[in-house]
């Protein structure tokens, strides 16, 4: 399996995988309203817009198993947000059945390479407080806990730990 740049036609598959993995990951952490409302109808237009924007699309990566997308990541500059100007790994999701096989590391490395290539002054990401599996993963990959922020919502004002 190898990391590839996502294409515009991948938006529906990425949106569906996003909803599946997000729902499973945050089933015990997110409020029921967020779990109910953040479905494909919300995610698909977000991914279509991201993939239609050439700057944003240059940081969206997928790994396929055959023709099926089994993991994806999105990396971007964060000029005004909580990452304080660093490059941000905004989404990193691996399908339940493919976790713990090294795909997260592959996507993490591709995201870091992309952010370095566009001159990002450091790399950071937010992880929901309580997503202990992801926290252990980022710590394993060398991340250091440097701060916190609260997502503005509107559906879930989650507390997030910043790893850099
Ligand atoms: C977090 C996530 C992206 C990790 O991806 P993954 O493919 O399962 O992780 P990998 O197999 O690439 O693991 C990479 C390294 O992290 C380590 N690691 C992964 N999960 C770990 C855990 N829970 N505890 C300790 N180490 C862990 C692995 O052992 C591996 O180290 P090694 O290569 O030295 O053995 C994936 O589990 C996932 O998609 N989770 C659900 C969505 C999510 O929470 N995304 C992050 C949102 S911020």
What confidence tens digit (pLDDT) does each residue in 79-105 have? 888 999 999 999 999 999 999 999 999
Gap between the Cα atoms of 73 and 113, Å rounded:
12
> pTM of the predicted model, to two decimals?
0.95
% of the chain with per-residue pLDDT over 90? 95
Which ligand 1 atom lies nearest to the CA of residue 133? 23
**CB within 8 Å of 66: residues ≥ 6 apart:** none
Instruction: Indicate if ligand 1 lies below 6 Å from the C-beta of 27.
Output: no
Largest Cα span, the chain: 39
Instruction: Indicate if ligand 1 lies below 6 Å from the C-beta of 133.
Output: yes
List, in order of start, the domains of the chain with CATH numbers: 3-163 (3.40.630.30)
pLDDT at 153 over 90: no
**CB within 8 Å of 28: residues ≥ 6 apart:** none
User: Pick from 123, 110, 125, 96: which is nearest to 62 by CA?
Assistant: 110
Instruction: Indicate if ligand 1 lies below 6 Å from the C-beta of 101.
Output: yes
- Torsion sign, CA atoms 36, 5, 62, 101: negative
Instruction: Indicate if ligand 1 lies below 6 Å from the C-beta of 21.
Output: yes
Residue 59 and residue 111 in contact, taking contact as beta carbons nearer than 8 Å: yes
């Amino acid at each position: 399996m190898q990391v590839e740049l996502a294409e515009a036609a991948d938006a529906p598959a990425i949106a569906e995988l996003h909803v599946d993995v997000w729902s499973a990951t945050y089933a015990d952490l997110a409020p029921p309203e967020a779990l109910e409302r953040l479905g494909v109808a919300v995610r698909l237009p977000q991914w279509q817009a991201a993939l239609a924007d050439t700057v944003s699309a240059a940081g969206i990566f997928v790994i396929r198993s055959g023709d099926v997308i089994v993991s994806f990541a999105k990396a971007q500059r964060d000029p005004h947000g909580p990452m304080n100007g660093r490059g941000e790994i905004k989404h990193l999701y691996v399908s339940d059945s493919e976790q713990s096989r090294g795909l997260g590391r592959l996507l993490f490395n591709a995201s870091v390479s992309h952010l370095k290539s566009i001159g990002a002054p450091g790399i950071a990401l937010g992880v929901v407080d309580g997503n202990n599996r992801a926290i252990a993963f980022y710590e394993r990959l060398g991340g250091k806990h440097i701060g916190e922020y609260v997502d503005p919502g509107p559906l879930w004002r989650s507390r997030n730990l910043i790893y850099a």
